[in-house]
Amino acid sequence: MIKTRKGFTLIELVVVIVVLGILAAFAIPRYINITSEARIAAVNGMAGGLRSAVALARAKYQTVGTMTLATVDMDGTAVACAVGTGIPTGAAGGIGLALQDTAGFTVAYGATSTFRPTNGGSLTCQASYVEATGAVAVDTTGC
């Protein structure tokens, strides 16, 4: 009676490890590129949300007809805005309330507010909001 041994030879194991290494060498850079693209999409989405919030606040301000108000009622929330223009302020009580949700972003409010993804990227990967004009800019370098 002949006994047969079952298992893998050392050569077979080395070949499998080499093949897995080659696959990983191609997959890891592709994964890094996908995360960068996701951050870029998130920043562009935030910029779109900022532009929409500004447009809605200004439209609401103008429909009220009183150009001396310092707040706009948006969905039961008083959003701080510039008198005469209706542009939301760069504070949490202005553009922050007009947006309603900044989850996934680190926000620095001010005359120029910045919205950066919390999941990485450099300090230049951001959407910014200018309080004086209501302009929104996107910088995706370093995402």
Q: Which token pair is 134? A: 């209501």
Q: Pick the residue with more confidence: 29 or 101?
A: 101
pLDDT average, residue stretch 44-48? 96
Q: Which of 10-14, 48-52, 87-91 has the lowest mean pLDDT?
A: 10-14
**CB atoms near residue 15 (< 10 Å):** 12
Band (1; pLDDT cuts 50, 70, 90): low
pLDDT at position 2 is: 67
Main-chain dihedrals φ then ψ at residue 126, nearest 5 degrees: -165, 165
CA–CA distance, 40 with 17 (Å, rounded to integer): 35
pLDDT at position 133 is: 95
Q: Pick the residue with more confidence: 113 or 64?
A: 113
Kindly report, residue by residue over 115-142, the tens digit of the pLDDT.
Answer: 999 988 788 899 999 999 999 999 999 8
Q: Pick the residue with more confidence: 77 or 35?
A: 77
Q: Which token pair is 3? A: 């006994």
Kindly report, residue by residue over 56-102, the tens digit of the pLDDT.
Answer: 999 999 998 888 889 999 989 999 999 999 999 999 999 999 999 99
CA–CA distance, 93 with 107 (Å, rounded to integer): 13
111 DSSP 8-state letter = S
